[in-house]
Amino acid sequence: MAMTIHCDIVSAEEAIFSGLAKMVVAHGTLGDLGVSYGHAPLLTALEAGPVRVIKDGGEEEIFYVSGGYLEVQKGTISILADTAVRADDLDEAAASEAQKSAAHAMTNQSGEIDYSRAAAQLAAASAQLRTLQQIRKNLKK
């Protein structure tokens, strides 16, 4: 049996995952971060995007988080996010449409737009699409 670490992924609405993992890979503000058993204590901000949880048996689950924080303590990984969704539950068509709409709003110079809101919507939709691409990549393995 491999060395495992307990992982909790929690959104503002619900706890979405709680279980043992061999490794958790997330996208922090300074780049990708992999955490496994024995990792030093850590607290880091997360960017919107996929979180991969590799379970003890080698099975991999992918989640989308809208950003948030990852904390590592002895024997525990906690991911706290405003939004956390199982990647299988993402709607690719809606994310693609949101991405196009936000990109159009940012380039539309004639109307009054909230540029920061459009940029945030574009980033979230792009992160959701990256998460879906990660699932397809893993299915090809």
Cβ contacts of residue 134 below 8 Å, gap of 6+? 50, 52, 62, 87
Q: Are residues 15 and 41 in the same domain?
A: yes
Q: Identify whether the C-beta of residue 44 lies closer than 8 Å to the C-beta of residue 29.
A: yes
Q: Is the pLDDT of residue 131 over 80?
A: no
Q: Are residues 62 and 103 in the same domain?
A: no
CATH number, domain with residue 25 = 2.60.15.10
* pLDDT score recorded for residue 95: 60
Mean of pLDDT over the chain:
81
Number of domains in the chain: 2
* pLDDT score recorded for residue 115: 63
DSSP output for 34-87: EEETTPPPEEEEE-SEEEEEEETTS-EEEEEE-SEEEEEETTEEEEE-S-EEEG
Higher pLDDT, 84 or 70: 70
- The whole-model pTM stands at 0.70
Domain of 121 in residue numbering reads as 90-140
Q: Are residues 81 and 103 in the same domain?
A: no
pLDDT tens digits, one per residue of 100-117: 666 666 666 555 666 676
Angle at 64 between CA 38 and CA 30, to 5 degrees: 55
